[in-house]
Structure 1
């Protein structure tokens, strides 16, 4: 357009040709020619530079106060280690400020103020095989992760998460997560929220022994799930995305812990922070994976809860183990995650035996003669199994 403008000005100013003739020859309006002449007389060669077509006023532009709220909310959420994406900002503005704004507008505001960090292209979400439980308590996921205290000590945090609602059922810190702690935290969560229909975990030894090189007794969790008719599911080895919901929860938790101004120095201080996070996560923070950006607490209470119902009467645990009776006349066997000491008698000290186990039912047989030395049902309330139960007083 600047070349045509020069031709028009040259034709009128230098060649002294009529405006009407020049306008007709170059296919422009006479008003534009007069406007160009006035601009040329006022600015000289500056009249040939390209002009912005942006309107002088934008009645539908986002108000400056809304832009300030978007940027302030972004800074505050990111500073707390929480999700600060456009969807979350839209939810907070609608629920707490009464401001209706689109996700695209929020994204443009963030990009204009250099609040968006470009990332490489990721795998499209449509390529993932996504699953979700239909009802609360239909499936619980669990996993534990490591965390370092301010003094450098390492602790572990175990989580129980509802698959349907992402509701955090229990998040506790321990010096080391053991099979007993797994069973205890599961019982605590079940006492508060009811027992689930199934569980989903990885293949860690604290959860299951099905992949152990030496097949031992069931863990305390495995025994409890079988006793209550709860289906136990485990991910395939080297497939952490199967338990992706609890893995993503742990990432959110770690981001939040790193954002705290005063890192915890003791496990008690860490547990207090975990309680704060769970309260915020369950009741205040919108979850992007839930419909209408609901909070996990809202989704957890919106539908009736599932309950255990699997028939696991035929799901028995068989094993054969060789051992030798010790000097005190006992042999040791792990049942329901704890060592049980079975009394056989001092006269059999040093005898090699076979232990034939089916869940709690145990038969102790002399490996050399085949003689049945003892047959019993393990009493789970005690570690020592006496030959003759004490007479009740």
Structure 2
């Protein structure tokens, strides 16, 4: 029998007074009076210790929210999209449901067996992190590999805005060359404006500094007054944002059947661009913004250096004879591109004595020409790219 029952029986039978019972059993007189009141209202069982659990818990997660967390997690994983607690918070808010903390969401996922154990990682706080303060302050670029259904290896060249994580360009190639970097950069800059700087690794398509020279991309950036930055060899963390982006891209592609052709792969990439930029919030933005919203939220940065006075970009269409007409200096030049490209919309990049013609649909170099502005042209040096070696990219 509990002490509370003994005290109540002793006092109610008259064997002990309240004061004597308090002294004998080490209880306060006020507590004994409360026990007697419970006894008179509910009998002997009412004096037993009551649960200290609150009658209600306004912070308890509802079954509706738990179900939404579980179902959303499964759907995102099936679609090949990020499905961490922060991402799930954004989806719950979009559905108009209460948003639990990330620790609560993680506990729900663990209870339902939806967390894959991972090895211990280096703490994020130990990394020196940086982020551009404005859109177009820095563009990161790199390419990654993906295989087609028949096992053919392809390369996907990407341009990512450092500040907003906005995916500016995502184009599939058989093999990425230096001309492809120039072409995609030029087309992207024409659409979004020039960046203040670029950040890439030390691949030969981006830089020739280790061979003590300058490639076409380096000369282009210099002519535009754009600062070129390259990561240290063997230190991919410098380009961490685009390296992390490649994981997201490959996870999404892996959730779908392998494309049969380069054009099919490009169609997938175009769909991914829309989802990545507009249909999902990025955890790097505290306001739960999509990359597109973050890219448009602030004024764009521009190159700090002085662009070359002779640099210009023209939009034109190759005529039925496979030619383009360009006035450069004091002469009118007729550039032979090739009849196979008749009717193709093109960007004409003019710097000093070099003219580069770029497809606006395939984002690849159609031809390059060297022109002496003081003389009438006698010919042109062209570098053609087979039409079937590039993916199709919507402008």
TM-score by length of 2: 0.67
The answer to whether the Cα contact below 8 Å between 2:224 and 2:306 also exists between their aligned partners in 1 is no
TM-superposed CA distance for 1:158, in Å, is 0.6
How many residues of Structure 1 are paired with residues of Structure 2 in the alignment? 313
User: Aligned match of 2:249 in 233, 242, 253?
Assistant: 253
TM-superposed CA distance for 1:87, in Å, is 1.5
TM-superposed CA distance for 1:27, in Å, is 5.0
Which residue in 1 is equivalent to 2:139?
140
| C-alpha spacing 1:27/1:309, structure 2 compared with 1 (3 Å) | same
CA distance in 2 between counterparts of 1:19 and 1:201 reads 88
TM-superposed CA distance for 1:57, in Å, is 5.2
Partner SS, residue 237 of structure 1:
coil
CA distance in 1 between counterparts of 2:97 and 2:276 reads 23
| C-alpha spacing 1:63/1:8, structure 2 compared with 1 (3 Å) | closer
Partner SS, residue 68 of structure 2:
helix
TM-superposed CA distance for 1:192, in Å, is 1.3
The answer to whether the Cα contact below 8 Å between 1:8 and 1:33 also exists between their aligned partners in 2 is no
The answer to whether the Cα contact below 8 Å between 1:90 and 1:100 also exists between their aligned partners in 2 is no
Pairwise mapping of residues 112-151 of structure 1 onto structure 2 (< 5 A)? 112-151=111-150
Partner SS, residue 66 of structure 1:
helix
CA distance in 2 between counterparts of 1:200 and 1:57 reads 55
| C-alpha spacing 1:52/1:220, structure 2 compared with 1 (3 Å) | farther
Which residue in 2 is equivalent to 1:237?
233
TM-superposed CA distance for 1:388, in Å, is 9.1
Partner SS, residue 72 of structure 2:
helix
The answer to whether the Cα contact below 8 Å between 1:133 and 1:164 also exists between their aligned partners in 2 is yes
Which residue in 1 is equivalent to 2:65?
66
TM-superposed CA distance for 1:288, in Å, is 0.4
Unaligned 5+ residue runs, structure 2? 10-14, 39-43, 309-351, 355-367, 380-395
CA distance in 1 between counterparts of 2:229 and 2:55 reads 64
For the pair shown, the structure with the greater C-alpha radius of gyration is 1
TM-superposed CA distance for 1:33, in Å, is 11
Pairwise mapping of residues 12-27 of structure 1 onto structure 2 (< 5 A)? 25=25, 27=27
User: Aligned match of 2:221 in 219, 225, 244?
Assistant: 225
1:208 matched to 2:204? The reply is no
Which residue in 2 is equivalent to 1:77?
76
| C-alpha spacing 1:309/1:57, structure 2 compared with 1 (3 Å) | closer
The answer to whether the Cα contact below 8 Å between 1:23 and 1:33 also exists between their aligned partners in 2 is no
| CA offset digits 1:335-390 (Å, max 9, x no partner) | xxxxxxxxxxxxxxxxxxxxxxxx979xxxxxxxxxxxxxxxxxx62499xx9954
| C-alpha spacing 1:276/1:8, structure 2 compared with 1 (3 Å) | same
CA distance in 2 between counterparts of 1:19 and 1:58 reads 40
1:302 matched to 2:300? The reply is no
TM-superposed CA distance for 1:56, in Å, is 6.5
TM-superposed CA distance for 1:126, in Å, is 2.2
| C-alpha spacing 1:263/1:19, structure 2 compared with 1 (3 Å) | farther
TM-superposed CA distance for 1:75, in Å, is 1.1
| CA offset digits 1:214-241 (Å, max 9, x no partner) | x4x5322112111211111111111111
Partner SS, residue 142 of structure 2:
strand
Moved over 6 A (4+): 5-13, 17-23, 28-35
| C-alpha spacing 1:19/1:90, structure 2 compared with 1 (3 Å) | farther
TM-superposed CA distance for 1:125, in Å, is 2.3
CA distance in 2 between counterparts of 1:154 and 1:51 reads 70
| CA offset digits 1:248-295 (Å, max 9, x no partner) | 1111101111122x2212211111111111101101110001231211
TM-superposed CA distance for 1:181, in Å, is 0.9
TM-superposed CA distance for 1:19, in Å, is 12
Unaligned 5+ residue runs, structure 1? 36-40, 43-49, 314-358, 362-379
